[in-house]
Amino acid sequence: MKKAALSILLAMCLLKGMAQDLTTHIVIDQFGYRPSSEKIAVIRDPQTGFDEGESFIPGDSYALVNATNDQHVFTGAPMLWNNGAEDTSSGDKAWWFDFSTYSSPGTYYILDISNNVRSFEFEIREDIYNEILIQAVRTFFYQRVGQAKEAPCAEDGWTDGASHMGPLQDTESRVYDDPNNAATERDVRGGWYDAGDYNKYTNWTANYVHTMLLAYEENPEVWGDNYNIPESGNGIADILDEAKWGMDHLLRMQKSDGSMISIVGESGASPPSATTGPSLYGGVNTSSTWNGAGTFAYGAKIYASLGMDGYADTLKKAALNAWTWAVANPNVIWKNNDAAYGSVGIGAGQQETDDYGREMGRLKAAAHLFEITGESTYKTHFENNYKKTHMMEWNFVFPFETKEQETLLYYTQLEGASPSVVNDIITTYNNSINNNDINFPAHDEAVDPYGAFIDTYTWGSNNTKAQKGLNFYVVKHYGLNASRAIDAEKAAERYIHYLHGVNPLNKLYLTNMYAYGGDNCADQIYHTWFHDGTDWDETGVSKYGPAPGFVPGGPNPSYDWDNCCPNGCGGASSNEKCLSIEITPPKGQPAQKSYLDFNETWPINSWSVTENSCGYQVSYIRLLSKFATKNDKSVPVEKIVSGLPEDFISDLKLILYPNPATNSVKIKLPEGFNGQKLSIYALDGKKLFETEIKGINSIDIPLFERGVYLVNVEGLNGGLSQKLVIE
């Protein structure tokens, strides 16, 4: 359904009785800014597009206003952008109100004093993005295939049973071209719904896992163990627990000869647990096997660093087996949903790549295998082939090949890498990021009035924005150019501000974040669970709306309805759908305005604008994590387990929620664990509380003084323990 401007109306209601009116012409990061951040409110005067009649001329004086007492804490004049020229990408004229020098924490808004209009409220706070990061990561929990979404991990409205776990589904999946043959059954459970569809693509899943591992290694202290996912409290950062969920699925997709199955085609329904159709897996291919090899090898390094030696060894063996098979089978191609391969109906997006994609997968695998083995085979391959990357061939850094470019940069940090190769990679990256018109020159010259320039808007532009931010940030992370490290961080953060509302639509490109500081969120996305007409259709209109934190695709000027519209879609009812909503916008708009909150399916085809993707999500998560602070609310965990099989122990955990606790706390025992007695200890070993819990799976436990305590549950076949923080 098409949404009236609900968020604006809600904001107006909140402001009822205040002296100023809320305006959409002053755009800010709707969450806020770190004290040290650049802080620029953009004032916009629409010239072209659906809002061209909404003229706005700012007054001469602007103020940063403390929202708690309405005091003007900083004032100044807005500065005209580009001498008053219209920006063609947005169709707007613009001004900047720069309040970067103000850094005191608090809640604020921007006020146009003369026009007596104001922006949304926002905060200045060092850890302003920490909770947002948690919610963005938690979307992967909601995307898990085969995972029940239960309280307390699933929030009210988004609980659901485990999907794709019925007859002939993921634990009994059969091959795509022989679905009646029980001998082909294999367990392919786990992984994530790739996007708005429920299919699982090995090439892409491997990249999601790899990006999570990279985000962790780049900044480990920001990742907590308190994201309220089923593994929270197990002593491992939840981003790595989430990565392991995907990694375990990839292990199940590997055949005994080392090759990787390319896809699992899943049926869909809303909610996901209502899905009853069979799960069919596709053929093996070289591209999936190379991507699997690289991700397995990198995982072996990361999980070994946590002391998970057995798991790390499993991943290392999987990586070596994948490498061996792919070397022997360099050109095995298999395409899904393709008549030539007998795979029509298996998946939606095409997971197969080309020769260049296969070579890039091998290059990444070589880098990570060299790192964990030190063997010259992998070094030799890398150094003989790194110049085949487009970055090296074209002397060009751009956001559509961020992962390939960063494979090169990652290699420069490895012990044993040849200095000449390292220098060549760094020099090439610096030459392009510093001198190419789409990189630092565009930033330095403020080519985009909204601060987040990209030269191409297409399907998935929000992903392009996040990747572009990463293109800049790695200059600081890898120490490529010390003189531009501060500029690189500032440039990268502007892309976060864009996604958080500094854009011509005043749109926060995350779903349903009103509880976390959002004001004009993405209220609809194209998603099988949250699709049109369901209880999860639209925030504020349908019963629940989509779950929080999903990144939609973003503005797409190539959007159009299906070619059959308006009169050739096979019948009157289908033709009527063409005219069920107004599609301008997103059609026929300047690039940055080519967006609409809508989720209609064929023939409106909203997926090219609002569909989410795990790929968009991990790009945003990784970029946002650069601006998060240390997560100091992680809950250390100690497990006391005896007499249980090792594979059973690995999945056992107590769930204490909330943790840290202030007013009350509940305990939930893991499924299959027969608890008998619960005890609470001070850290000095003194027992403070004890009770029998036979046959009870969820109870309230008492709170003590502020501090850290140990909760222990004894069962018939062992015991489990976890620390509880009381604030």
State how many domains the chain has.
3
Q: Are residues 204 and 275 in the same domain?
A: yes
Q: Tell me the pLDDT tens digit for each residue of 656-714.
A: 655 556 666 767 676 567 777 888 877 556 778 888 877 665 556 666 776 667 788 88
Q: Are residues 80 and 138 in the same domain?
A: no
Question: Which residue among 328, 353, 378 closes a domain?
Answer: 353
Answer yes or no: is 708 within a domain: yes
Q: Are residues 118 and 197 in the same domain?
A: no
Q: Are residues 32 and 151 in the same domain?
A: no
Please give the pLDDT value at position 690: 82
Please give the pLDDT value at position 679: 83
Using omega within 30 degrees of 0 as the cis cutoff, is the peptide bond preceding 702 cis?
no
Per the prediction, the chain carries an average pLDDT of 91
Answer yes or no: is 488 within a domain: no
Q: What is the CATH number of the domain that holds 208?
A: 1.50.10.10
Please give the pLDDT value at position 635: 41
Answer yes or no: is 292 within a domain: yes
Please give the pLDDT value at position 226: 94
pTM, full prediction: 0.86
Q: Are residues 83 and 66 in the same domain?
A: yes
Answer yes or no: is 669 within a domain: yes
Q: Are residues 176 and 317 in the same domain?
A: yes
Q: What is the dihedral of CA 208, 210, 211, 213, to 10 degrees?
A: 120
Please give the pLDDT value at position 714: 82
DSSP line for 265-288: E----SSGGG--SPPEE--B-HHH
Q: Are residues 246 and 203 in the same domain?
A: yes
Answer whether 296's CB lies under 8 Å from 191's CB.
Answer: no
**What is the number of residues in the chain?**
727
Structural domain span for residue 118: 6-124
Answer yes or no: is 140 within a domain: yes
Q: How confident is the model at residue 725 (pLDDT cuts 50, 70, 90)?
A: low
Q: Are residues 75 and 148 in the same domain?
A: no
Three state DSSP letters for 226-269? CCCCCCCCCCCCHHHHHHHHHHHHHHHCECCCCCEECEEECCCC
Burial class (CB within 10 angstroms; exposed 0-12, middle 13-18, buried 19+) of 632: exposed
Give buried/exposed letters for 525-553 (b at 16+ CB in 10 A, else e): bbbbbbbbebebbbbeebebbbbbbbbbb
Q: Are residues 190 and 299 in the same domain?
A: yes
Q: Tell me the pLDDT tens digit for each residue of 260-298.
A: 999 999 999 999 999 999 999 999 999 999 999 999 999
- Residue 143 is classified by DSSP as T
- Residue 612 is classified by DSSP as B
Q: Are residues 73 and 173 in the same domain?
A: no
Please give the pLDDT value at position 694: 74
Q: Are residues 152 and 268 in the same domain?
A: yes
Answer yes or no: is 450 within a domain: no
Q: What is the CATH number of the domain that holds 689?
A: 2.60.40.10
With 90 as the cut, is the pLDDT of residue 317 above it? yes
Cα–Cα distance, 163 to 462 (Å, whole number): 28
Q: Are residues 143 and 112 in the same domain?
A: no
Answer yes or no: is 367 within a domain: no
With 50 as the cut, is the pLDDT of residue 322 above it? yes
Tokens of 221: 């202290």
Sign of CA dihedral 655, 512, 221, 121: negative
Answer yes or no: is 240 within a domain: yes
Question: Which residue among 90, 124, 158 closes a domain?
Answer: 124
Answer whether 530's CB lies under 8 Å from 537's CB.
Answer: yes
Question: Which residue among 353, 374, 399 closes a domain?
Answer: 353
Give the rounded distance of the alpha carbon of 530 from its chain centre: 17
